[in-house]
């Protein structure tokens, strides 16, 4: 059912996605879907959470160095936006601008959990580079590292290129070293 929801969203868009369509594509009765989810938004939130958990996982300490590990993670984020799960995120973020319940669910669930993973991942990456930044500074660094990517995709609808990834990784690590030296 989750795969059917992903596929139909990519094929038809958010507005045309229906529980009936998901049920038909998955080969189940509508009632089966309603036993688990109350709306298409709930289905999409579950599929997004499942897909992102692995796709947006941080891999640090690979031996390539902090900058290369950060670039690799940012490339995974860029690739994610091109996948069906990334399109689900884009659709939910767009819908959340118009629907308070979707906004609250997205922020309390997926976005909060992903932010926690991003903070922990960047903290681990910096620790491997023997750089320590306080929680407030780390929070700002996560914004700096991911903000340009989200901006490029969500505001301009443009792909994320290698130059943006490389510059963002370099600037994030430069600022991390400055925050450590300056005491945040």
pLDDT score recorded for residue 156: 95
Give me the number of domains the chain comprises: 1
Task: List the chain residues with pLDDT less than 70.
Answer: 183-184
The verdict on residue 19 lying in a domain is no
pLDDT at 6: 86
| DSSP alpha helix (H) spans, the chain | 2-12, 19-26, 30-36, 40-55, 66-82, 84-96, 100-106, 112-128, 135-154, 162-182
Asked whether residue 34 is assigned to any structural domain, the reply reads no
Cβ contact 73:58 at 8 Å: yes
Q: Is 11 inside any structural domain?
A: no
Q: What domain range includes position 70?
A: 40-182
Report whether 159 contacts 82 (CB < 8 A).
yes
- Res 183: pLDDT: 59
Q: Residue 92: give its domain's CATH number.
A: 1.10.357.10
Decide if 107 is inside a domain.
Answer: yes
Is 24 a domain residue?
no
Whether 14 maps to a domain, the answer reads: no
pLDDT in tens, 103-153: 999 999 999 999 999 999 999 999 999 999 999 999 999 999 999 999 999
Look up the pTM and report it. 0.88
């Amino acid at each position: 059912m989750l795969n059917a929801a992903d596929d139909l969203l990519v094929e038809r868009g958010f507005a045309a996605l229906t529980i009936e369509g998901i049920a038909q594509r998955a080969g189940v009765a509508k009632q089966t879907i309603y036993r688990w989810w109350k709306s298409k938004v709930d289905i999409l939130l579950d599929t997004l959470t499942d897909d992102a958990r692995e796709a947006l996982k941080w891999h640090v300490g690979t031996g390539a160095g902090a900058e290369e590990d950060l670039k690799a993670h940012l490339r995974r984020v860029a690739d994610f936006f091109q996948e069906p799960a990334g399109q689900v995120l884009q659709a939910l973020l767009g819908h959340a601008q118009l629907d308070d319940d979707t906004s609250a669910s997205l922020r309390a669930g997926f976005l909060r959990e992903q932010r926690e993973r991003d903070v922990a991942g960047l903290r681990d990456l910096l620790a491997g580079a023997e750089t320590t930044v306080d929680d407030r500074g780390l929070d700002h660094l996560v914004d700096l590292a991911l903000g340009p990517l989200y901006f490029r995709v969500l505001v301009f609808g443009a792909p994320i290129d290698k130059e943006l990834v490389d510059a963002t990784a370099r600037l994030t690590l430069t600022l991390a070293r400055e925050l450590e030296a300056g005491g945040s």
